[in-house]
């Protein structure tokens, strides 16, 4: 019989503390230095015991665990002597410079620090119970010696937790200010019941392996179930209900249901032997109905199904692909914009040579290019994370697909055939076995009748008168008298032979029956299914979280330009952990105004801006605000396109003196300029013809250098 899964408890962790100095100082100040010197050896021994029992790491092998158990026992006895002799508190008349720090065994991020010997004693007793549970779990329960070792160690663990609760040590620790749940009386009581349940379960394994009668096995199984039920009730009540991992709660709940069902099954076997068929069926139904999916696990599955389940992950993966593609497209577009700007700058630099005094494009756009490179690198990392997510979904889908079964109970294993039917249409194997058992019972009744006949013949048979009258040989007389029993003896012999044949037949039929209805295999399969469902829930939740983080990461890149930089800078989602440095891209990375020559005042249609048909007026400004630059850009596009061929510059080749007009439809911030061109980037007016248009560059907000957009108009 395979050993069932059981639980062991991890020890509490503590911070190193020097016991010697504070205790010796207390003795010297309270009594005398002579007394302190006398106690040196004892104080050193206590200090060394704590270092060995608390501060040194434990090893998982059996010999190390037993050694640690002995050390903890010695230190626990020493603390029992220290407690009444050394008052430890913040009172300066006591041992006031000594405090103990202990972490919670079940939530290690929580700890408590107190100047209290009660906390120290409670923690040591807890660790003693934990080490006993580890010794029990390390035992090989397949062997008889291993079962005994495990059973005894679990009982000792229960004893340690019972002492922690009943002696008042746990209550005193709580009263002193201990805030970790693991040393409370409630937790000690729950662990006591859990250890007793596992000790009783070891005994159940022993009686099953020993082939004990079903009645005894049923009683032992029921007691195991009772202990697990008590532990489960404690786990579901405050303060433990929010402290333990759900897997613990589900495990204990399942064990309680399993052993209740097992007790019913063993009881039904005894009822079957007594041919109490109706009670047998009722007992089996009660036992089987008690085995259902744990409520906590069912709630997790329902939450998964409400969120879409594994079947809905593909749609989210597609969203992730789409968002990734959109951001890649934006990246490509921005790179093309910067390349175009650099190309135009090179063109002007070649055309005007030394007169083109603007800084190099690579210098002006270096900040943007660096951010863009970082943006591209992090998008590449994001793509790698997306690939991992997609591969994880594909690899784990067979495991997670069980969560799409509705109701989830339909995924649980069930008995392939009923052991008994109520309408008389019994399974062939069960019917044949029942028939053989009836025949066996008939043979027994027949043999009992023959025995009664034999006893009656013996009672009536009295050969004493014949012996007294004795003529002839007594041997002949005995043979003659015994021959009267030959017929009934032959009938009994035939009955025994028939019984032997029938027992062989029943043995074969019972093997077939066990193959059809095997509760042990059923329990193993059901527990395996519970674990599969729990693992599927964990994997789904992990995958769902990764998908959500990925979607959130890409969505932050789709917000408005003014928000994007802040969102990327302050993003700390797990998905963007793959994209550290947070993509400090330019605030307008995907905005059409980021390149230096992005708009370049390309020709645009002039609809209703011109005041007169013969007067072409462009707009000038010294504003650094991007919204005003945008307004001017659009206005100038329309003006230039409607103006036909226009020359920008201080050319005097036309008949009318160049002049600048203020455009009344533009924002008030527009500045009317009356000076010559001084910020075009040219050291002097470049030679140009009336068919030439010189475009002034626009810069991003952080690069605008007080440039003026200068536009001249000429009369036709």
Q: Give every CB contact of residue 580 below 8 A, 6+ residues apart in sequence.
A: 378
Tokens of residue 252, six digits:
């204990």
Each residue's pLDDT tens digit, 628-668: 333 333 433 333 344 333 333 333 333 333 333 333 333 33
For residue 536, the model assigns a pLDDT of 92
Burial of 679 per CB tally in 10 Å (0-12, 13-18, 19+): middle
Q: How far apart are CA 233 and CA 381, in angstroms?
A: 48
pLDDT given at position 292 = 64
pLDDT in tens, 10-31: 999 999 999 999 999 999 999 9
Per-residue tokens: 602? 């390309």
d(CA 236, CA 252): 11
Q: What pLDDT score was predicted for residue 623?
A: 31
Positive or negative: CA dihedral 124, 126, 129, 130: negative
Q: Is 624 helix (H, G, I), strand (E, B) or coil?
A: coil
| Residue 401 burial (C-beta neighbours within 10 Å; 0-12, 13-18, 19+) | middle
Separation of alpha carbons 509 and 500, rounded Å: 14
At 442, list the tokens. 């008939």
What is the reported pLDDT for 439? 86
Q: Nearest to residue 106, comparing CAs of 247, 249, 245?
A: 245
The SS3 of residue 186 is helix
| pLDDT for position 54 | 87
Q: CA 317, CA 391: separation in Å to the nearest integer?
A: 11
pLDDT of residue 289: 64
**Could you give the CA distance from residue 714 to residue 618 in angstroms, rounded to a whole number?**
11
What does R_g of the chain's alpha carbons equal in angstroms?
A: 46
Phi, psi (degrees; rounded to nearest 5) at 95: -80, 90
Query: Please, which residues have CB within 8 angstroms of residue 151's CB and are 6 or more apart in sequence?
Result: 136, 199, 202, 203, 206
* Ordered DSSP codes for 40-70: HHHHHHHHHHHIIIIISPP-SSHHHHHHHHH
pLDDT at 488: 84
Q: How far is CA 465 from CA 41, 439, 461, 481, 483, in A?
A: 99, 43, 11, 13, 18
Angle at 220 between CA 217 and CA 222, to 5 degrees: 105
User: Which ranges of the chain have pLDDT less than 70?
Assistant: 1-3, 57-60, 288-292, 414-428, 430, 470-473, 513-523, 557-716
How far is the C-alpha of 103 from the C-alpha of 110, rounded, in Å? 6
- pLDDT score recorded for residue 682: 38
Task: Indicate left, alpha or beta for 103 from its phi (over 0: left) and psi (-120 to 50: alpha).
Answer: beta
Per-residue pLDDT at 160: 97
Check residue 193 and give its pLDDT.
Answer: 96
């Amino acid at each position: 019989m395979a050993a069932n899964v059981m639980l062991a408890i991890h020890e509490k962790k503590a911070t190193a503390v020097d016991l010697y100095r504070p205790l010796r100082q207390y003795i010297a100040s309270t009594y005398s230095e002579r007394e302190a010197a006398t106690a040196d050896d004892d104080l050193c021994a206590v200090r060394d015991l704590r270092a060995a029992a608390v501060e040194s790491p434990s090893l998982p092998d059996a010999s190390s665990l037993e050694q640690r158990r002995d050390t903890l026992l010695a230190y626990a006895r020493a603390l029992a002597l220290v407690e009444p002799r050394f008052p430890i508190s913040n009172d300066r008349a006591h041992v006031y410079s000594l405090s103990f720090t202990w972490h919670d065994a079940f939530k290690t991020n929580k700890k408590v620090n107190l100047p209290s010997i009660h906390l120290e004693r409670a923690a040591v007793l807890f660790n003693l119970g934990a080490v006993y549970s580890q010794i029990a779990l390390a035992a090989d329960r397949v062997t008889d010696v291993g079962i005994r070792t495990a059973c005894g160690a679990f009982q000792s663990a229960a004893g340690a937790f019972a002492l922690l609760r009943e002696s008042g040590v746990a209550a005193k620790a709580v009263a002193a200010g201990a805030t970790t749940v693991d040393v409370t009386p409630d937790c000690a009581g729950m662990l006591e019941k859990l250890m007793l349940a596992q000790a009783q379960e070891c005994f159940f394994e022993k009686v099953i392996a020993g082939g004990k009668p079903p009645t005894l096995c049923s009683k032992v199984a029921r007691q195991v179930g009772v202990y697990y039920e008590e532990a489960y009730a404690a786990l579901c009540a405050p303060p433990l209900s929010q402290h333990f991992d759900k897997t613990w709660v589900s495990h204990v709940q399942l064990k309680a249901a399993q052993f209740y069902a097992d007790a019913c099954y063993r009881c039904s076997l005894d009822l079957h032997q007594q041919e109490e068929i109706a009670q047998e069926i009722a007992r089996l139904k009660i036992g089987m109905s008690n085995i259902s999916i744990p409520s906590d696990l069912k709630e997790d599955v329902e939450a998964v199904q409400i969120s879409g389940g594994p079947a809905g992950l593909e749609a989210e993966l597609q969203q992730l692909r789409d968002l990734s593609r959109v951001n890649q497209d934006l990246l490509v577009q921005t790179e093309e914009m910067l390349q175009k700007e650099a190309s135009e700058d090179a063109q002007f630099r070649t055309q005007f040579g030394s007169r083109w005094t603007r800084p190099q494009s690579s210098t002006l756009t270096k900040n943007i290019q660096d951010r863009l490179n970082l943006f591209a690198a992090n998008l590449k990392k994001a793509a790698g994370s997306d690939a991992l997510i997609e591969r994880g979904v594909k690899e784990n889908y067979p495991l997670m697909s069980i969560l799409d079964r509705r109701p989830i109970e339909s995924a649980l294993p069930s008995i392939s055939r009923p052991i008994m039917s109520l309408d008389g249409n019994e399974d062939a194997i069960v019917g044949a076995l029942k028939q053989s058992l009836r025949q066996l019972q008939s043979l027994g009744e027949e043999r009992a009748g023959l025995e009664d006949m034999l006893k009656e013949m013996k009672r009536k048979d009295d050969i004493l008168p014949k012996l007294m009258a004795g003529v002839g040989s007594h041997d002949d007389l005995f043979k003659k008298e015994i021959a009267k029993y030959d017929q009934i003896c032959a009938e009994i012999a035939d009955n025994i032979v028939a019984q032997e044949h029938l027992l062989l037949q029943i043995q074969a039929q019972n093997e077939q029956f066990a193959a059809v209805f095997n509760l042990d295999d059923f329990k193993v399969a059901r527990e395996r299914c519970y674990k599969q469902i729990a693992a599927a829930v964990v994997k789904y939740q992990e995958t769902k979280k990764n998908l959500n983080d990925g979607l959130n990461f890409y969505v932050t890149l789709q917000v408005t330009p003014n928000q994007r930089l802040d969102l990327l800078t302050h993003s700390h989602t797990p998905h963007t952990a793959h994209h550290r440095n947070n993509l400090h891209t330019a605030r307008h990375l995907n905005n059409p105004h980021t390149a230096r020559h992005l708009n370049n005042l390309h020709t645009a249609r002039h609809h209703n801006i011109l005041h007169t048909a013969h007067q072409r007026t462009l707009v000038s400004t010294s504003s650094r605000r991007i919204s005003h630059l945008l307004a001017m850009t659009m206005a100038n596009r329309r003006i230039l396109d409607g103006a036909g061929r226009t020359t920008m510059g201080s050319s005097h080749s036309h008949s009318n003196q160049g002049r600048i007009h203020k455009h009344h439809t533009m924002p008030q911030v527009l500045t009317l300029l009356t000076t010559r061109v001084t910020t075009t980037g040219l050291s002097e007016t470049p030679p140009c013809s009336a068919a030439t248009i010189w475009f002034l560059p626009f810069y991003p907000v952080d690069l605008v250098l007080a440039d003026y957009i200068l536009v001249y108009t000429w009369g036709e």
